Structure 1
Amino acid sequence: MHRSILQSTPFDTTESPSLVERTMLDIRKYIYGNGLKPGDVMPPEAEISTQLDVSRTVAREALRGLAALRIIEVGNGRRARVAGPSAEALSVIIDHTVHTRQVSVVQIQDARRTIEMRTVGLAALHRSEDDARALLETIDGMMAAAKRSESETVMELDILFHEIIARASGNPLYSIFVDSFRVITRQTWNIGWRARGNYENRVENIRCHERIAKAVVEQDVEKAEAAMSEHFDSSFMTLLRAGVK
């Protein structure tokens, strides 16, 4: 039987939250105190309102706030459910910090390099046959799209390539981190595509991905990390030459 929202384990907070923020905290207490998992159904809005002694409007805004943070999922006519892992909230933060010039694209890429050097090593150790197949199929797709000069298709497959490696690492946190970087890839992709200038240079970038993929398939950690390092060196230089800071 589920514990009451008000009986759930308290959170420590040094701030004085607003009523909506406090309600968001209390709803999170309920989730964690009852051991809810992704996909589990939350109490109805009316029940949350009654148990927490807040208006339906406050309860609704709290649920919307948690949905924006991807802690719960809400849909028209359906009860809220506990959400699974998602990079969306972190992606919004990264996008915001870049656009407000708190963090540069180069700094984001530097952090990404550190993370992906680790993920590719783990992927080489833990990848499944399905992971290996998916990586090689993605490379084939990138090559075919490059021949057709389909920049957007190559970009989406590039994003998928890095996400496959992150998932193959076996650590779901790395998947969240790597997935969150897609917003930066989409912002800088056309700059890099134009800076590479011609088909040969663009294919060489894909060949670099191919070297990463083959090393992961062969489960060669050293080669995988070296190929990923080469990839980021090339990407850094391309963006810097194009004037990205």
Structure 2
Amino acid sequence: MAAPKWGPVERVATYELVIEKIEEQLVSGALGPGDRLPPERELAALLGASRQAVREALRVLQALGIVRSRQGTGSDAGTVIVPAPAHALSRVLRLHLAVSSFPAADLTGARVLLERASAAAAAERRDPEAIARLRELLTAMDADLGREEFSELDTKLHVAIAGSAGNQLVGELTAAVRESLRGALLDGMRAEPDWPTLRDQLRREHRGVVEAIEAGDAPLAADRLERHIRAFHVRIDG
């Protein structure tokens, strides 16, 4: 691994520019998971930035889940690049989706693209442990559940299908999009006057997707999941 290359930030030493410099080292491969950043005072000198700017940059990166910082003098002290900030990625995506005014059709389309691919890959893998988890969720959804409880399990099932694909990034993206729609989907369930009938329909559709995954039928699993997603969005979007 190449040694990190530090240099003064351009013009004003703001925390955004400090973050850009750290990002450059990560993208170039000079810094990677588990690596330790120089101490705050040293990093400020290397970048020609104020300690306040460096401190603020590190706070932002810690909030994003990119680094973790610990005070003290032991082996765990200092600021270290987090090895696998997958959940942090999902959190950031959820926040961006929450404050962005994407059309409903765009979000539905994104769900379809991601979840079709996930369902197909899950069927091709046919991982026994993953399928067992899907079966557990289906069983839990067979109970006499209200809308809120069912919606919670519904989210877990869709995220679990994405996780069954064996692609962590796709799983995190799917989870972020699905979580951003949680409120709208729950509102759609609440607006349905005949909840037992809708619940039974969703159960059948979920079971059909899982059965196709378990059978190893990738095209069928993808098609069933897409029909399930589009049908429900048509219902709640009017």
| TM-score (normalised: structure 2) | 0.82
Between stretches 177-186 and 112-121, larger displacement belongs to: 177-186
- Cα gap change, 1:174/1:4 in structure 2, threshold over 3 Å: closer, same or farther? closer
1:54 and 2:88 aligned:
no
Deviation at 1:76, TM superposition (A): 7.4
Between stretches 114-123 and 64-73, larger displacement belongs to: 64-73
Structure 2 match to 1:21: 16
1:189 and 2:188 aligned:
no
Structure 1 match to 2:139: 140
Between stretches 198-207 and 129-138, larger displacement belongs to: 198-207
3-state SS, counterpart of residue 65 of structure 1? helix
Structure 1 match to 2:107: 108
Among 180, 205, 208, the residue aligned to 2:205 = 208
1:172 and 2:168 aligned:
yes
Count of aligned pairs: 226
Q: Quick check: 1:5–1:27 contact (8 Å CA) kept in 2?
A: no
Among 227, 233, 236, the residue aligned to 2:230 = 233
3-state SS, counterpart of residue 43 of structure 1? coil
Deviation at 1:148, TM superposition (A): 3.5
Q: Quick check: 2:13–2:49 contact (8 Å CA) kept in 1?
A: no
Q: Quick check: 2:108–2:230 contact (8 Å CA) kept in 1?
A: no
- Cα gap change, 1:209/1:6 in structure 2, threshold over 3 Å: closer, same or farther? same
Deviation at 1:17, TM superposition (A): 8.4
Q: In 2, Cα distance between the equivalents of 1:29 and 1:158?
A: 40
Q: In 2, Cα distance between the equivalents of 1:155 and 1:162?
A: 11
Structure 2 match to 1:63: 58
Q: In 2, Cα distance between the equivalents of 1:174 and 1:162?
A: 12
Deviation at 1:74, TM superposition (A): 4.5
Q: In 2, Cα distance between the equivalents of 1:171 and 1:164?
A: 12
Structure 1 match to 2:3: 3
Deviation at 1:95, TM superposition (A): 1.0
Identity among equivalent positions (%) equals: 25
- Cα gap change, 1:194/1:217 in structure 2, threshold over 3 Å: closer, same or farther? same
Deviations along 1:141-181, one digit per CA (max 9) or x if unpaired, are 1222xx032x3322222122122221222222211210111
Q: In 2, Cα distance between the equivalents of 1:81 and 1:126?
A: 35
Deviations along 1:62-91, one digit per CA (max 9) or x if unpaired, are 112323444334567763332322211121
Q: Which runs of 5+ in 2 are unaligned?
A: none
Deviation at 1:47, TM superposition (A): 3.0
